Amino acid sequence: MRILARLRAHRTPLGERGIALPIALLGLVAVSLMVTTALLTSSSEVAIGTAHVDATRSLYTAEQGLNSWLTNVATNSANLTAGTATWRVPNSTDDVQLTTVRLSQVTNADQSVMRTFAITAEPMRSGSPAGRAVVAMVKQFTPGPPTVNMNITSAITLGGDLEVNGNAFTVNGRFDGCGVNGGVDAVRSAFDSQITTNNERHMDNFLGINDGGAETSGRAAIDSTGLTREQLGLDVLGGLTIDQLISALPLSKKWGPRFGRPAWDGVLDTVPTREDAAAVDANGGTVDVTGGSGMLIIVNGNVELEGNTVFDGIIIVEGNFTLSGTPSVTGSLISLASTGQNSIDQDASAISNGHITVQFDRCQIDAALQALGRASTPATPLTSTTFSWFELVR
């Protein structure tokens, strides 16, 4: 009996054996979760930080590229055109892709043009655009051609003398339109210029309008100014000499040895482009004009129009002119010669086929002056103005 009692006293209570292992495992799980969370948080923050730095860098690259490109456009007065191009950011190895889209274009009455563009800049990565992009809204103004002012107030401006032979001609200053009401004088001449004819009645073929607006003819249609031949030349050319007028033209519009260019073969069928301008060195001879339009300037020689030549615009000749046959000049004919003889010469073809005609036409004169302006100074844009700048959100 004593032995049994002793055995019962040393038994282990039921359910208390092996509890340390589950507790250890539970703690291990908790620690693992904490470590995993810490690792995930750390890697996420690194990724977020890297992405932020990369995005910020791409934004600054796009902004710097777009700003430097627009500065280059404004500095060089370059025309903006629609399209896509790659631009290297100055002082770096970064490239940006620039996409230019024209949003609007307005042409004004003076032929100036206002354009609006949207330019998108995106940084390049491995040859492809990627990252944050910026957009600039830009207005670009291109002025119209410069205005060339001349004081042309007659069908013919005469620096030297004029000899008229025959009656089959008309020099007409009567005209309405383009700011002229009624017309002008038929001829405006220097004070010592002489007009002679084989028959005084043929002078009636000079037709004009006087300052009072009344129609005149004959010698009354001729304004014999008090200006010398040199003064008359400066007045009609708007204060410029003929050399100053020519100096504005590009070399491609000049012909002959004075300009170091090939000479015409003596016959000029047209100026280089219709309603354009040209200066021709006659090399001491005579240029035979057989047609054309715009502004034609002939230096170091004379000009002749014969046959059925038609010219619309302004002819300025440093020497003398000869009109024979049935030519027609619509606009104005200007001779700046101080020596030699201008001539309106009726020949057999004029007698049988028609008239020599010089008709004042302000519309053709204005068109020729505009053509001279276009040829003289190519239209280039002024400063490009950025009026809006924003980040492109995709």
pLDDT in tens, 254-273: 988 889 888 767 788 878 77
Q: What is the mean pLDDT of residues 108-123?
A: 89
> DSSP class of residue 179?
T
- Name the nearest CA neighbour of 132 among 123, 140, 141: 123
Averaged pLDDT of the chain: 85
How far does Cα 232 stand from its chain's mean position? 33
To the nearest 5 percent, what fractions of the chain are helix, strand and coil?
30, 35, 35
180 and 110 within one domain: no
Angle, alpha carbons 6-11-13 (nearest 5°): 145
- Name the band, by pLDDT with cuts 50, 70 and 90, for residue 187: very high
Percent of the chain residues past pLDDT 70, beyond the cut: 86
Residue 22 inside a domain? The answer is no
Residue 23 inside a domain? The answer is no
343 and 311 within one domain: yes
Q: Which amino acid is at 146?
A: P
Write down the residue that tokens 């009692």 correspond to: 5
Q: Are 318 and 324 in contact (CB under 8 A)?
A: no
Q: What is the mean pLDDT of residues 125-154?
A: 86
Residue 203 inside a domain? The answer is yes
Please state the domain count of the chain.
2
- Residue 234: its pLDDT value, please? 92
225 and 307 within one domain: yes
388 and 339 within one domain: no
Residue 261 inside a domain? The answer is yes
Other beta carbons within 10 Å of 16? 7
Q: Give the residue with greater pLDDT, 390 vs 269.
A: 269
- Would you say how long the chain is, in residues? 394
State the Cα–Cα distance between residues 7 and 5, nearest whole angstrom. 5
- Name the band, by pLDDT with cuts 50, 70 and 90, for residue 153: very high
State the Cα–Cα distance between residues 60 and 69, nearest whole angstrom. 14
363 and 280 within one domain: yes
Residue 118 inside a domain? The answer is yes
371 and 246 within one domain: yes
Q: Give the residue with greater pLDDT, 247 vs 350.
A: 247
- Residue 58: its pLDDT value, please? 84
Name the residue range of residue 137's domain: 53-144+381-392
186 and 251 within one domain: yes
Residue 34 inside a domain? The answer is no
- Name the nearest CA neighbour of 313 among 278, 346, 287, 345: 278
228 and 311 within one domain: yes
170 and 284 within one domain: yes
Q: What is the mean pLDDT of residues 363-387?
A: 81
Q: Give the residue with greater pLDDT, 20 vs 42.
A: 20
Q: Dig out the tokens for 74 from the structure.
A: 């404004």
Query: Is 121 a residue whose pLDDT tops 70?
Result: yes
82 and 215 within one domain: no
State the Cα–Cα distance between residues 222 and 193, nearest whole angstrom. 11
Residue 105 inside a domain? The answer is yes
Helices (DSSP H) in 253-385: which residue ranges? 348-353, 362-376
Residue 309 inside a domain? The answer is yes
Q: Are 153 and 174 in contact (CB under 8 A)?
A: no
335 and 224 within one domain: yes
CA distances from 86 to 71, 75, 101, 139 (A): 15, 19, 15, 21
How does strand 321-324 pair with strand 341-345? parallel
- Separate counts of helices (H) and strands (E) for the chain: 6, 25
Query: Is 350 a residue whose pLDDT tops 90?
Result: no
Query: Is 14 a residue whose pLDDT tops 60?
Result: no
187 and 264 within one domain: yes
